[in-house]
Structure 1
């Protein structure tokens, strides 16, 4: 198992949290998703490392955006 934390922008309420959790949770191999609304942090636990682009696409499908990493 591996946990990776991403930063998501645009979330403002519990519905946002639910949407992001549901979309990211549908990715193959994902076993858990924890979203911290206050910080925008999304911790994703998966069986294997996830492709960042796949996570970004799932977050986009939910209506939000992964923060750009330097």
Structure 2
């Protein structure tokens, strides 16, 4: 799905999960966010993300925000 006009940020959640051999279900359990909401984020359909959620995901994946969210080419 191409980014919306004016929306140039892409989420690398799928790639980071694969690198860490972690499932979306496992991440959901670790961060306390539903699989559905993580899936929306993973598939670049999210309109916003709470800082608390972003922090929890980064902590669980042991990554920085800039590794998770990147500017689309």
Q: Which category describes the TM-score, using the shorter chain as reference length?
A: 0.3 to 0.5
Q: TM-score, normalised by structure 2?
A: 0.37
More relative contact order in 1 or in 2 (CA 8 Å, sep 6+)? 2
TM, length-normalised to structure 1: 0.38
Q: Which has the higher strand share?
A: 1
Task: Compare the two structures and name the one with the higher helix fraction.
Answer: 2
